[in-house]
Chain A
Amino acid sequence: MTEIERYAAPTSLDEALGILQQGEVRILAGGTDLMPQSKAGRLALGPTLMNIRRVPELKGVALDGDAIRIGALTTITELLADPLVRQHLPVLAEACDHFASDQIRNAGTIGGNIGNASPAGDTLVPLIVLDAVVELASKPNGSVATRRMPLAEFFTGPGRTKRAANELLTAVRIPLPRAGHVARFYKFGTRPALDISAISIGIAGVVRDGALTDTRVAFGAVAPTPVRAPRTEAALEGKRLDAATIAAAANAARDEVAPIDDVRATAWYRKELIHNMTKRMLDHVAQA
């Protein structure tokens, strides 16, 4: 493992981006994933360990035009209590409520949950169905450059993302949901607290004249990354949520996912859960 040769705790975004420009950096925020992963030897903390918790530009939730901008350092507890999140993004608040334990919610950040890129990350599936976009900043030649990327395209594998080595994930932006927007989240684990999900499901869309449009379906823990489910979405898009549509969508969902066997569930069980819970969630949307 690479030893820590330098520890930095920058107090501005500019300073943090400057450090990222100088070489290989491990980014520390809440530490709740980094500490156990480094202890287990899965991640090196060096050569530079950079603690970003004192960078003020990464904090806060605010309305920014037609989007809600959530700073990367926002903790899960802060998200749960935030009035903008509770009013406009209740599905995200619900996922935060199912997140680990109070102690971990008090320390863990949304930027960390995204950057850790676990296929089972609790906020990722709801963020994807809310069309979240990540904001990445860097300072390649002396001035700050930012780019945005849909979260659904951000992940490349377990623990891997398209963030470049000199970039910092600064925020996640979520478009304000329109009138008629519905969103649901479901997480299956063997106990309510502190469980890594066996599967998770997010469904969102805009109900127009009884039909679901702009449909978004995403699944967690059934692939190397959280994934959109285009065939399930197509089975629902523009259709009334009657029994036949729901059955077809649930079948499409089961056929579409290719999970693995692991300690939390077998692949067969995961596929059955995806089918049955997708159906149940769509039934609830139809009855709402």
Chain B
Amino acid sequence: MSLKHDIEFTLNGVRQRVTVDAGLNALDMLRDVVGLTGTKYGCGEGECGACTIRVDGQSMNACLMFAVDCDGRSVVTIEGLAADPKADALREAFVEHGAVQCGFCTPGMVMQASHILDTQPHADADAIKRGIEGNLCRCTGYKKIVDAIESACCGGK
């Protein structure tokens, strides 16, 4: 039996208390303990970005993060972004530009895109490509993804 630890954190704006194995990663906690399956498991080693979440505003690979380290922090997942009116432009841009093919990378792409828009509101296509270098799309739909993020920059202006 591995050690259990109680943590309390803000998940998509709501206080959350969970008991987790001390060695568990944040991705398995979100999917299996909390039950939010929007955050995807792709590679489990930080290569693909499908599990991108935001912790205290910073984008991170949930698969590389210890769940216990969420304690006291603010975590936002794709479910939280879906309910956030500030992300409307980004969500609509992904639809508008056909930036979704199979859709598996989409939650991670959108989370990372929201981080790019917050930290570099005037990002150009090159900065966006650098920004999503930790996100893989195996349909290789990068062109439309970059177009979508670029069109959402500065609220679509």
Q: A residues near B, CB below 8 A?
A: 3-7, 9, 28, 30-32, 34-36, 38-39, 45-46, 49, 51, 53, 77, 100-104, 106-107, 192-194
Q: Is the CB of B45 within 8 A of A106?
A: no
Residues on the B chain within 8 Å of A100, using CB: 46, 134
Residues on the B chain within 8 Å of A38, using CB: 23
Given contacts A3-B3, A102-B59, A106-B58, contact A31 B23 (CB under 8 A): no
Q: Is the CB of B58 within 8 A of A104?
A: no
The residue in B23, B45, B130 that gathers the most chain A C-beta atoms within 10 A of its C-beta is: B23
Given contacts A5-B3, A36-B46, A103-B60, contact A51 B68 (CB under 8 A): yes
Q: Is the CB of A51 within 8 A of B46?
A: no
Q: How far is the CB of A286 from chain B (nearest CB, A)?
A: 30
Give chain B interface residues in 107-127, CB to chain A under 8 Å: 112, 115-116
Q: Is the CB of A49 within 8 A of B23?
A: yes
Q: A7-B22, A194-B134 are in contact. List 8 more A-B contacts (CB 8 A).
A: A9-B68, A35-B64, A53-B69, A77-B58, A100-B134, A101-B135, A102-B134, A107-B58
Given contacts A35-B65, A51-B69, A104-B46, contact A7 B133 (CB under 8 A): no
Q: Is the CB of B65 within 8 A of A101?
A: no
Q: Answer yes or no: B66 CB below 8 A from chain A CBs.
A: yes
Q: B residues near A, CB below 8 A?
A: 1-3, 5, 22-23, 25, 44-47, 49, 52, 58-61, 63-66, 68-69, 71, 112, 115-116, 130-131, 133-135
Q: Is the CB of A35 within 8 A of B66?
A: yes
- Cα A9 to Cα B116 in complex, Å, equals 30
- Cα A107 to Cα B65 in complex, Å, equals 8
What 3 pairs between A and B have smallest CB-CB spacing? A101-B134, A193-B133, A106-B58
Residues on the B chain within 8 Å of A77, using CB: 58
Q: How far is the CB of A128 from chain B (nearest CB, A)?
A: 25
- Cα A144 to Cα B22 in complex, Å, equals 28
Residues on the A chain within 8 Å of B60, using CB: 103, 106-107
Can you list 19 A-B pairs, Cβ within 8 angstroms, ordered by A? A4-B22, A7-B5, A9-B71, A32-B46, A34-B66, A35-B63, A35-B64, A45-B22, A49-B23, A51-B66, A101-B46, A101-B134, A102-B116, A102-B131, A102-B133, A103-B60, A104-B46, A194-B47, A194-B133
Q: How far is the CB of B74 from chain A (nearest CB, A)?
A: 14
- Cα A53 to Cα B66 in complex, Å, equals 12
Q: Is the CB of A101 within 8 A of B23?
A: no
Residues on the A chain within 8 Å of B45, using CB: 36, 39
- Cα A89 to Cα B23 in complex, Å, equals 36
Q: Is the CB of A32 within 8 A of B133?
A: no
- Cα A77 to Cα B131 in complex, Å, equals 12
Residues on the A chain within 8 Å of B71, using CB: 9
Q: How far is the CB of B115 from chain A (nearest CB, A)?
A: 7
Q: Is the CB of A7 within 8 A of B68?
A: yes
Q: Is the CB of B112 within 8 A of A36?
A: no
- Cα A104 to Cα B47 in complex, Å, equals 9
